[in-house]
Each structure stands twice: as structure tokens, then as C-alpha cells.
Amino acid sequence: MSHLNQIKVASALLGLSFAIGSSLSLAQDASRPDLTGIWTNASLTGLSRPRGVEDLIVSPEVAQEIAANTSIAGIAPGDFDESAPTNAADGAPPAGSIDFGLRGYNSFWTDPGTVLAMVKGEFRTSYIVDPPNGRIPRLESPNSGFERRGFGSRYLTGVGGNTGPEDMPLAERCLLGFGNTAGPGMMGTLYNSTYQFVQTDDYVLVSVEMVHDARIIPTFDSAEEARANRRPSVLKPWLGDSVGWYEDGTLVVETVNINPAQMAESSVPITDDGRITERFSKYSETEIFYSFTVEDPNIYIQPWTAELSFHATDGQMYEYACHEGNYAMPGILAGARRLEAEEAAK
């Protein structure tokens, strides 16, 4: 073969290798949804369907009516005391007013959104889609002795014990965001429902505005490889042991071994025998379709599934310096020790 022909053959092979490499790259990109960006899942929809509402999907008119009658932070529409001060310089709201007392937030701070959840162009009345009634299929008597800590409304403060800091809710201790904002089973809440997704070849990071929780999820080539790379089961971190893989354009994340203290206060609890499987896919350039399935025969009659969407936002992530000015815990503990000292002095 002449030198010229050798050059032509080499050039052709090089061009073919580039073409194959490009097609493989495109195929890989197509199989992995681009989740990078800043998103929000703020809405007035809750995990379970409101009583008296039967349909999962409703018209814009019905959605507007439901939203207008949705309680926020435990306060029904129209019950806010509009005359109560919302600026510290004006003093505290008067004792006995509707926006005073045990509630940790007044109307000035709430920002849960103004409409029901929009999922694939449809207004949803609950995140739960299965069972069809939109309710969590809990067993009347859990099989494992699992007990959920009862702190009443999640928007109350100053609840729990006062023997030590461990007696108080995790959110009040600034350890985790309330309302399952970071999941697994990530849902919007009273405010700060903004998320930043960062995607690399081997990891997906979900940074949550609420309390700045961060989920770092390693990704693998298959479900089998992902499960083979789990941490030892004795380790039960906050947010659990999450591993991920890609299937047909969907990021699948499976989580087990979540810290029991988190599960005791979670909206989506599981025991050591349970798992939560999340799925992320791009419905459009401005919408991530998200679902999670909860499986645990110790707590639930059957597996159940919830769906919602993350929508692109022009906003930005803000720092959530939870402990700055957080006088609740030292105040409660100091007050309890003072009462104990006074009782002992008697």
C-alpha cells in the first residue's frame, strides 16, 4: 500500500472512531437526564389528598378554589390577624391574637406557593397517586414496634421535652429541614422549597435550601452494582444510604438504612426492612418529573407511590443559617433548669 493510501485509510479510520465516539456519547447523554440547575417544588398540595376531595387531577377552576381554602402553617384562610405586628420593631403580636402563641411563624414568613402542584401540565390534589384514594396505607398496628414521635403540628415550636437538647425535634435543633424537604421523599414545605442539582459522571448532589441539607448520591452502571456498593448496614446516616443508577433516561435512587431519629419524625418513615425508591426524569427543559415509592411491610399495608415535579426557577439558593439567632433551645433548657433550681430551693 502506498504511503498516500495509508494516510487515506488512517484518516478514514480516525473519522470513523470520532463518529462512533460521538454517537456513544450522545447515547450516553440521552440515557442520563440533565438535572443540573436550580429548581423549586413549592406548592399548596400535600402528601395526602384532602378529605372531601376525590379526584387526583382537577381543573384550573377547582384547583384555584382548593388553593384558596388551604390552611397554611395550621392557620385557615382568613384567620390571620392582619392587624398584628409582623415587624419586631413594632413589638410582639398581642396575646390571644390568632397569629400568636405556639405558632413558630406568622403570615409574614410563609412562602409555600400559591397554587396546587402542577405535574405534567395537570393540577394535582395530592402527591400520592397510588393507592388511588391518595392516602398512606398504614397498618393499624406496626409489626416492628416502630413508634413515631408525636410533636403535634410540625409548625409548632417549643414542643418536646426539656431534659436535654435530644428531647427536642430535629428541625428545632437545626439538624434537618422539616417537612421532608431533603427526603428521601422530597416535598415542598412552608418556605425555602428551592433545590440545586449538580450532576457529575459518578455522583448527583442535591443541595436543599431548607437548613442546607445536602444529598450526595453515588451513581453506578446498574442496580446490581449500586446495591453491591452500599455501606455496612450498621451505618444509618441522616438521609440514609442512597445509591443511584440510570434506566432509560431516568435517574433511579434507592435508599435504605435511614437514621432512626429522622424516621421517627418523618412524613415518609421506614424501618430497617424498608426502602424508598426515587425516580427523576426530564418532562421538559423546565420540569423534572419526580416520583418516590415507599415499601415497608412493617408499617404499610402495601407499597405506595407519590408524584410531583420540580420546576425551573430564575431565583437563587440562599444561605439558611439556622443557628443564627436560634434562641429557642438554650432558652427552653435554661428555663427548665431555672424551674428545677427553684423547686429544689423550696
Mean pLDDT, the chain, integer:
83
pLDDT of residue 307: 98
The stretch 299-308 carries a mean pLDDT of: 97
Cell of 334: 435554661
Cell of 172: 428545632
7 vs 43: which has the higher pLDDT: 43
Is the model's pLDDT at 288 over the cut of 80?
A: yes
CA atoms within 13 A on the CB side of 85: 9
* Residue (of 309, 273, 86) closest to 195 by Cα position: 309
pLDDT of residue 7: 37
Is the model's pLDDT at 110 over the cut of 50?
A: yes
The answer to whether 54 and 132 have CB atoms below 8 angstroms apart is: no
Q: Categorize the per-residue pLDDT at 168 as very low, low, confident or very high, splitting at 50, 70 and 90.
A: confident
The stretch 223-233 carries a mean pLDDT of: 96
pLDDT of residue 20: 37
Does the pTM surpass 0.75? The reply is: yes
Query: Cis omega (within 30 of 0) on the bond before 184?
Result: yes
Count of residues in the chain: 346
Locate the domains of the chain by residue range. Answer: 37-73+110-312
pLDDT of residue 320: 86
pLDDT digits (tens, 9 = 90+) for 311-328: 999 988 888 888 787 777
What is the 3-state composition of the chain as percent helix, strand, coil, each rounded to the nearest 5? Answer: 20, 25, 55
The stretch 259-276 carries a mean pLDDT of: 94
Element (H, E) at 64: helix 60-68
pLDDT digits (tens, 9 = 90+) for 11-42: 443 343 333 333 333 334 558 999 999 999 99
Cell of 246: 440510570
**Residue 126 carries which DSSP code?**
B
Q: Categorize the per-residue pLDDT at 154 as very low, low, confident or very high, splitting at 50, 70 and 90.
A: low
82 vs 243: which has the higher pLDDT: 243
pLDDT of residue 49: 96
Q: How far is CA 312 from CA 25, 196, 212, in A?
A: 26, 10, 19
The answer to whether 195 and 186 have CB atoms below 8 angstroms apart is: yes
